A and B are shown apart, each in its own frame.
Chain A
Amino acid sequence: MTKAYINGISCISAQNTIDDSWFFDSITPANGDYFSAIEPSYKDHIAPNLIRRMGRAIKMGVTTANLAIIHADAKKVDAIITGTGLGCFEDSERFLLAMLDNNEQFLTPTSFIQSTHNTVGSQIALIMKCHDYNFTYVHRGFSFESCVLDALMLFEEGKETILVGGIDEHTPNFVTLNRRAHKLELQDTTKPIHQSTSNGVQLSEGSAFFLLSKYKSDKSIAAIEGIKTLYKPKTSEDIFEKLTAFLKLHNLTLSDIDVTLMGFCGNQHFDKYLNDLLPKLTTDTAIASFKNLCGEFYTASAFAMWVATKLIQKQQLPQSIVIAGSEPKHIKYVLVINQYGGVNYSFMLVSQC
């Protein structure tokens, strides 16, 4: 499959990632059992007449998409592909609450229009005046992965520049409901996340966008070599077997991987297979975690890809994310192994270019 060159990136997350100079310093802790995104002043990025109708997911998505395009100095894109697990949740909630509060009367159009999952992609297209391919994947823990896979296939079909991103937001009600369902739990930050014995995660939100190109240019920061998704693998051996085959497909073995970013979420049950894999990986690569920084959400893998790209760009592995293995001398290949809910597993391979 064709590789994709990453020419521009931007990320809003629970850390100060919107500041391009931020590199794993001044780590912001969670608000107990959940993280909130550190958001910029949107007035600096979006026209006031557009902002007033946008929920946070749309503002985060449009801002990061815009910045990724600016970083890549791209004049146009051939496709816009967005991934989201929850979509524009704030507006969905607003619309449904208005329905309840007003006894299904006096429903206004704005929050309904803005509540659909593809609103972020469509707003980006409207702002960019892009009439080309526009698709939104809502595949729970595979939402962002599906975007990347689609982009790689579109490059094979002749597209040259594609904007890809993952966005999710939470609301106070969503946090409360997850808390009542015992899905959230305060993590013991004195221990690395993979050693957590908790039964919950720290919920979070964010947006990361990538301007991908079929061709390498002086703007290229890194390249996406490939992606693989695994739904409900039966054993950790099954995952390891698929991982070895995935690397072989790219003429690589584990010893070629410089850093492996693993999606430990803090829930000991969901993290079991990743913990089982750990001894098989640590002899060959440095292992790092990312959800201790960004928290857990459906498109946390987009944050992981942002981290992978940054590590390659900076050629440094910050101690705040290392959980095992030794620091590599050079970062050529970064492997992301993510899991969501112990159900959705994925591998993404990012390389220096």
Chain B
Amino acid sequence: MDALIEKLKKQIIEQLNLAEVNPDEVSADSPLFGEGLGLDSIDALELIVLLEKHYGIKIEDPKDGKVIFQSLRTMAEYIKAQGKG
């Protein structure tokens, strides 16, 4: 799980061009939206594409995103649950 979280962290930083963010300062449980990384709705769309492109997971209902994209850990857990991690 930890390896997947690290991999996700790097992919998110690259995809969202978070050049100012130090990967070591992003914890697995800190919120991705609002506080924490401070992502917004456009980033949510980027994350949906990221999951599809890199893990072959298609989120059919956007409402599910609220739960899946809470933190790096919830994302990683979701990927594992889909048998893709």
Q: Does B62 contact A (CB under 8 A)?
A: no
Q: Assess A52 versus B49: contact at CB under 8 Å? Given A109-B42, A110-B42, A113-B42.
A: no
Mask of A101-135 contacts with B, CB within 8 angstroms, 1/0: 01001111110010000000000000000000000
DSSP majority for the A interface? loop
Which chain B residues lie closer than 8 Å to A108 at the CB level?
15, 45-46, 49
Which chain B residues lie closer than 8 Å to A48 at the CB level?
20
Q: Quick check: B20 and A52 within 8 Å, CB to CB?
A: yes
Interface hub of B38, B46, B49 (most chain A Cβ within 10 A): B49
Q: Quick check: A52 and B42 within 8 Å, CB to CB?
A: no
The answer for the CA separation of A106 and B17 in the assembled complex, in Å, is: 17
Q: What's the minimum C-beta distance from B11 to chain A, rounded to whole angstroms?
A: 13
Which chain B residues lie closer than 8 Å to A107 at the CB level?
49
Interface residues on chain B, number (Cβ under 8 Å): 13
Q: Does B59 contact A (CB under 8 A)?
A: no
The answer for the CA separation of A52 and B17 in the assembled complex, in Å, is: 6
Q: What's the minimum C-beta distance from A334 to chain B, rounded to whole angstroms?
A: 41
The answer for the CA separation of A106 and B52 in the assembled complex, in Å, is: 7
Of the candidates B17, B38, B46, the one whose C-beta lies within 8 Å of that of A109 is: B46
The answer for the CA separation of A196 and B64 in the assembled complex, in Å, is: 64
The answer for the CA separation of A107 and B52 in the assembled complex, in Å, is: 10
Interface residues on chain A, number (Cβ under 8 Å): 12
Q: Quick check: A102 and B53 within 8 Å, CB to CB?
A: yes
Q: What's the minimum C-beta distance from B77 to chain A, rounded to whole angstroms?
A: 23
Q: Quick check: A109 and B45 within 8 Å, CB to CB?
A: yes
Which chain A residues lie closer than 8 Å to B45 at the CB level?
108-109
Nearest CB in chain B to that of A52: its residue: B17
Which chain A residues lie closer than 8 Å to B17 at the CB level?
52-53
Mask of B9-20 contacts with A, CB within 8 angstroms, 1/0: 000000111111
The answer for the CA separation of A124 and B1 in the assembled complex, in Å, is: 43
Q: Does A49 contact B (CB under 8 A)?
A: yes
Q: Quick check: A49 and B38 within 8 Å, CB to CB?
A: yes
Of the candidates B18, B38, B49, the one whose C-beta lies within 8 Å of that of A106 is: B49
Interface hub of A107, A108, A110, A113 (most chain B Cβ within 10 A): A108
Q: What's the minimum C-beta distance from A285 to chain B, rounded to whole angstroms?
A: 49
User: Which residues of A from 24 to 60 have beta carbons under 8 Å from B?
Assistant: 48-49, 52-53
The answer for the CA separation of A106 and B19 in the assembled complex, in Å, is: 22
Q: Quick check: B18 and A52 within 8 Å, CB to CB?
A: yes
Which chain B residues lie closer than 8 Å to A102 at the CB level?
53
The answer for the CA separation of A52 and B20 in the assembled complex, in Å, is: 9
The answer for the CA separation of A218 and B45 in the assembled complex, in Å, is: 48
Interface residues of B (CB under 8 A from A): 15-20, 38, 42, 45-46, 49, 52-53
Interface residues of A (CB under 8 A from B): 48-49, 52-53, 102, 105-110, 113
10 further interface pairs, Cβ-Cβ under 8 Å (given A52-B17, A53-B42) = A102-B53, A105-B52, A106-B49, A106-B52, A108-B45, A108-B49, A109-B42, A109-B45, A110-B46, A113-B42
Contact sample, A vs B, 24 pairs, CB 8 Å cutoff: A48-B20, A49-B38, A52-B16, A52-B17, A52-B18, A52-B19, A52-B20, A53-B17, A53-B42, A105-B52, A105-B53, A106-B49, A106-B52, A106-B53, A107-B49, A108-B15, A108-B45, A108-B46, A108-B49, A109-B42, A109-B45, A109-B46, A110-B46, A113-B42
